[in-house]
Amino acid sequence: ATPMSVAVATGVGAQRGVLVKQGETLERLSSVNHFVFDKTGTLTTGQLNVHVVEPCADLTQSELLRLAASVEQHSEHTIATAICDAAISAGLKLLPITKFTTTPGRGVTAYIDGKHILVGTRQWLNSQSIYFPETLNNTILQNEKQGISCVSVAVDGELQGIIGLTDSLRADALSTIQLLQAAGAKITVLSGDRLEVVNAVTQSFSNIQRFAEVLPQDKSAVVKSLQAQGDIVAMIGDGVNDAPALIQADVGMALASGTDVSVESADVVLSHQELAKVAEAKLLATTTLRIIR
């Protein structure tokens, strides 16, 4: 690659909101044949809304929401923000908590009035011997099939209900995927959420691969396995969770709206929260390298 044309392309990119940190990145991006997208906050806006509050024991809806929000007040997850916003909008006062813990990809815990509260995935609660009645399992599945992510709430080992959250695809998600596919690229969606939710949210996409319930620490292993198949991989993410996968990928791309960690770990930073910049960046790289070769 001649330094001059790469420098020009890098400048053009910057003007258009595609910030390429190093010249070599463009060269690598031109040979990328597989784009891996994180779901929450990348393909979707990441602005979740509480859609369902369903108690299954002795709590009212407000009590269930208040308990969950009280525990979530110390979490920075998008789920936590949505649950706290819903509680505050409903005029609920959050309760003081002690011994808060957070387990990435699973959930959060704390004590309220000496009671142990868990908020997280059903599998995580199951692994702690919390029993789910069949009717609630069905409710969860029905919600998930409509693209509603569910978190479960337990008090002292007893299930108290679920909270369902919705998120919407970014307006340019489908067209970006289609542009990349038209250019011959493979597409994978990678999520910590359940497969039912991933399927529902991405139902308008065809010919894509989906990996669900991937724990944060396993996201980079998925990227590695695609590289082991011979693919040159670009990973597009936004969260703290995505940083190792962004580093593992041949090209890591972060949305500028994303957390500082992912922006630091990325080779390309896309501004204006526009997913369409991914396709623009790829086109810029391909065109530049075609001129050079």
Kindly state the tokens that stand for 165.
């959250």
Task: Tell me if 188 contacts Mg ion by CB under 5 A.
Answer: no
Q: Is 38 a catalytic residue?
A: yes
DSSP code of residue 8: H
Residue entry with tokens 């998600």: 173
**Residues 72-131 within binding reach of ligand ADP (CB under 6 A):** 72, 75, 77, 79-80, 105-108, 119-121
Is residue 270 within 8 Å of residue 281, measured between CB atoms?
yes
Residues contacting Mg ion: total by CB under 5 A: 5
Q: Which stretch binds ligand ADP (CB under 6 A): 88-96, 172-180, 187-195, 259-267?
A: 187-195
Which residue among the candidates 38, 167, 250, 267 is catalytic per the annotation?
38
Task: Tell me if 192 contacts ligand ADP by CB under 6 A.
Answer: yes
Minimal distance, residue 145 CB to ligand ADP, in Å: 15
What backbone torsions phi and psi does residue 133 show, to the nearest 5 degrees?
-65, 150
Q: Which is nearer to ligand ADP, 60 or 101 (CB)?
A: 101
What backbone torsions phi and psi does residue 166 show, to the nearest 5 degrees?
-115, 160
Among 10, 25, 40, 191, binds Mg ion (CB under 5 A): 40
Task: Tell me if 51 contacts ligand ADP by CB under 6 A.
Answer: no
**Residues 129-158 within binding reach of ligand ADP (CB under 6 A):** 149, 151
Distance, CA of 21 to CA of 19 (rounded, Å): 6
Q: Which is nearer to ligand ADP, 31 or 203 (CB)?
A: 203
| Contacted by 154, from Mg ion, ligand ADP, none: CB < 5 to 8 Å by type | none
What backbone torsions phi and psi does residue 75 show, to the nearest 5 degrees?
-100, 150
DSSP code of residue 94: P
Q: Torsion-angle region of residue 24: left (phi > 0), alpha (psi -120 to 50) or beta?
A: alpha
Neighbouring CB atoms inside 10 A of 243's CB total 24
Q: Which is nearer to ligand ADP, 48 or 289 (CB)?
A: 48
Distance, CA of 71 to CA of 98 (rounded, Å): 9
Q: Torsion-angle region of residue 100: left (phi > 0), alpha (psi -120 to 50) or beta?
A: beta
Q: Which is nearer to ligand ADP, 9 or 136 (CB)?
A: 136
Q: Which stretch binds Mg ion (CB under 5 A): 41-49, 122-130, 243-251, 271-279?
A: 41-49
Neighbouring CB atoms inside 10 A of 62's CB total 14
Which positions lie near Mg ion, rule CB under 5 A?
38, 40-41, 238-239
Q: Supply the residues annotated as catalytic.
A: 38
Which positions lie near ligand ADP, rule CB under 6 A?
39-40, 72, 75, 77, 79-80, 105-108, 119-121, 149, 151, 191-193, 216, 239, 241
